[in-house]
Chain A
């Protein structure tokens, strides 16, 4: 028995594709001549397509309702109740967790529930707090426009207050915020000058990413390398994956193990391409809310994913 006859795809046997293509090619060549019948066919097909769209609209409506209800149910089932112990309890059941986590957040319109600038700050602060409670020490937050980068003081306050809500004012975990490319790191809510704070173990290291940290950074890096090459300090032959990686790690950071998208679809929005090489993605269809249930489900999925680079 040959492979072709043994392989049954979607229930029908694999035919001799080459022959089929041959027939198709001949058929399409004759059709190219064009006729009134072809035009009629194309109108009929388009009408059927519109009917398909109509049916699909209903299907999507059902799917959307189903997805929304599922997320609501999950949100009810997994509520951290501002208790880090509950979060750690959930996480400790997992087989493994990522060391570097990244989340993609969006600035929603003011009219939406949990939207606007304050909504975004709150989302960033919540994601940071869940991450630190889960025991993960590195988090990067991607927001396309860099709104968070431009509102550092507001973000620091929001994170501080959210950490206080969960851990209490007397036990706020330490945090640092790094803004790539500026090479600046900010400590706590106002501890930039506090040497003791800075030299101690930082519980969570935050990096703020935006579109500019992606392709534009690689373009800038190429320009810098071209300048060095012009000065004969580097040769094009020296440019390797290793060299670019070391530069981008220095500029932007390491690639995350897991990227959680709080978006309704898998939309990477220009996320730094170099940093999505092997990262796992998690998103919940039709969900835009930044909730603990989604965060936890992402970690649960990561704990079950099989790692086999190239094998």
Chain B
């Protein structure tokens, strides 16, 4: 978590350098080249958290915070493409976000559709390399928004070989798992598969994500929260996925922060080569322990007596849902 500050300060210093844009673009070009010569993840994902707090901190309107976040997103998409990353996923709108005010939801939808429609515009060259996929529970998306999103999705379908941008919209991971389980059961009823063929891979293939989506190598969450908020819980719970929680707001997240994470990943991958631990449990109990360790009947600690109920009152229980228990 600490490395990013170095890059951030470099970027801050760069603004005082004459012709800083040229310097920054050259730095980006060189860093991209360096990183590409090592190991690059195939699938990266982002929880773009902190737009509203960024707006508050910079005395901007709430909506302007989201707008600033979208600028940051475009930079990261560009960096992903330059680096040759195949898939990028973003948590654009959670099903839980329907808890927000109607005004904010409407503006968020407008912003997303507006940005995506811009990608369709012929004067931009995004269309040549960016394939957009809307990943989520489409039955929850308002009809008009859905039609426009599907049009963008359809138009970019033929862009293969570049970057696939998975937009997780009206998405939560639990909803995706439930959808996959339901679809798998349907497949069994329709005799497409047998019960014995059901496996973790089958569940994977039936997710909202397309079956050709590679496993998630990296999940980045900004804003300092250290939880997944129902995003990719199935995809990042194994040891081969990396989760990075950064203590900065999404609009402040730059390519340089991203490069720093990728450098760490590349370094660790290089260090792991040839030193993979082989899990072996054979003889884990043969620790030649003396027998008295297992003797509990004669084990007496008589010099103290602390009743659990006599201890001070503990603070209230508060669950992750904010409920006092």
Q: Do A and B bind each other?
A: yes
Interface residues in B44-102 (C-beta closer than 8 Å to A): 60, 64, 67-68, 71-72, 74-75, 78, 81-82, 94-100
1/0 per residue, CB under 8 A from A, across B112-126: the answer is 000000100000111
Which residues does chain A contribute within 8 Å of B238, judged by CB atoms? 268-270
Whether B103 is near chain A, meaning CB under 8 Å from some CB there, is no
Option from A95, A229, A271 in Cβ contact (under 8 Å) with B189 = A229
- A263 vs B258: C-alpha distance in the bound complex, in angstroms? 24
Interface residue count on the A side (C-beta < 8 Å): 126
1/0 per residue, CB under 8 A from B, across A128-146: the answer is 0000111110000000110
Option from A88, A147, A255 in Cβ contact (under 8 Å) with B314 = A88
Q: Are B314 and A134 in contact (CB under 8 A)?
A: yes
- CB-CB under 8 A for A167 and B304, given A145-B279, A236-B183: yes
Option from B1, B118, B234, B314 in Cβ contact (under 8 Å) with A92 = B314
- A15 vs B266: C-alpha distance in the bound complex, in angstroms? 29
1/0 per residue, CB under 8 A from B, across A286-303: the answer is 000000000000000101
- A52 vs B31: C-alpha distance in the bound complex, in angstroms? 11
Q: Are A239 and B181 in contact (CB under 8 A)?
A: yes
- CB-CB under 8 A for A276 and B305, given A110-B287, A225-B181: no
Looking at the assembled complex, report how far the CB atom of A147 sits from the nearest CB atom of chain B, in whole angstroms. Answer: 6
- A88 vs B128: C-alpha distance in the bound complex, in angstroms? 62
Q: Are A12 and B75 in contact (CB under 8 A)?
A: no
Q: Which A-chain residue is minimally distant from B289 (CB atoms)?
A: A118
Whether B109 is near chain A, meaning CB under 8 Å from some CB there, is no
Looking at the assembled complex, report how far the CB atom of A165 sits from the nearest CB atom of chain B, in whole angstroms. Answer: 6
Interface centre among B82, B237, B312 (most CB of A within 10 A): B237
Interface residues in B15-38 (C-beta closer than 8 Å to A): 15, 20-21, 24, 30, 33-38
Whether B178 is near chain A, meaning CB under 8 Å from some CB there, is yes
Please report whether the interface of chain A is mostly helix, strand, loop or mixed according to DSSP.
helix
Which residues does chain A contribute within 8 Å of B301, judged by CB atoms? 164-165, 168-169
Interface centre among A145, A165, A257, A310 (most CB of B within 10 A): A310
Option from A17, A301, A310 in Cβ contact (under 8 Å) with B99 = A310
Interface residues in B185-206 (C-beta closer than 8 Å to A): 185-186, 188-189, 195, 198-200, 203
Q: Which A-chain residue is minimally distant from B1 (CB atoms)?
A: A285
Looking at the assembled complex, report how far the CB atom of A109 sits from the nearest CB atom of chain B, in whole angstroms. Answer: 9
Q: Are A307 and B299 in contact (CB under 8 A)?
A: no
- A26 vs B304: C-alpha distance in the bound complex, in angstroms? 78
Looking at the assembled complex, report how far the CB atom of B159 sits from the nearest CB atom of chain A, in whole angstroms. Answer: 12
- A100 vs B317: C-alpha distance in the bound complex, in angstroms? 9
Option from A59, A98, A277 in Cβ contact (under 8 Å) with B233 = A277
Q: Are B314 and A97 in contact (CB under 8 A)?
A: yes
Q: Are A274 and B188 in contact (CB under 8 A)?
A: no
Q: Which of A3-11, A69-77, A176-184, A192-200 is the contact stretch?
A: A3-11
Interface centre among A83, A221, A279, A307 (most CB of B within 10 A): A307
Interface centre among B8, B36, B181, B264 (most CB of A within 10 A): B181
Interface residues in A90-104 (C-beta closer than 8 Å to B): 91-92, 94-100
Which residues does chain A contribute within 8 Å of B251, judged by CB atoms? 7, 9
Q: Are B302 and A169 in contact (CB under 8 A)?
A: yes
Whether B153 is near chain A, meaning CB under 8 Å from some CB there, is no
Interface CB pairs A-B, < 8 A, 29: A3-B60, A9-B71, A10-B257, A17-B71, A48-B34, A49-B38, A63-B2, A96-B315, A96-B318, A98-B320, A117-B285, A135-B311, A167-B308, A168-B301, A171-B305, A214-B237, A219-B198, A222-B184, A229-B188, A230-B188, A243-B178, A268-B236, A271-B237, A272-B237, A276-B233, A278-B227, A278-B320, A305-B226, A310-B96
Interface residues, chain B, CB within 8 Å of chain A?
A: 1-3, 7-8, 11-15, 20-21, 24, 30, 33-38, 60, 64, 67-68, 71-72, 74-75, 78, 81-82, 94-100, 118, 124-126, 128-129, 173-175, 177-178, 181-186, 188-189, 195, 198-200, 203, 225-230, 233-234, 236-239, 243, 245, 251-254, 256-257, 263-264, 266-267, 270, 279, 281, 284-285, 287, 289, 293-294, 296, 299-308, 311-322, 325
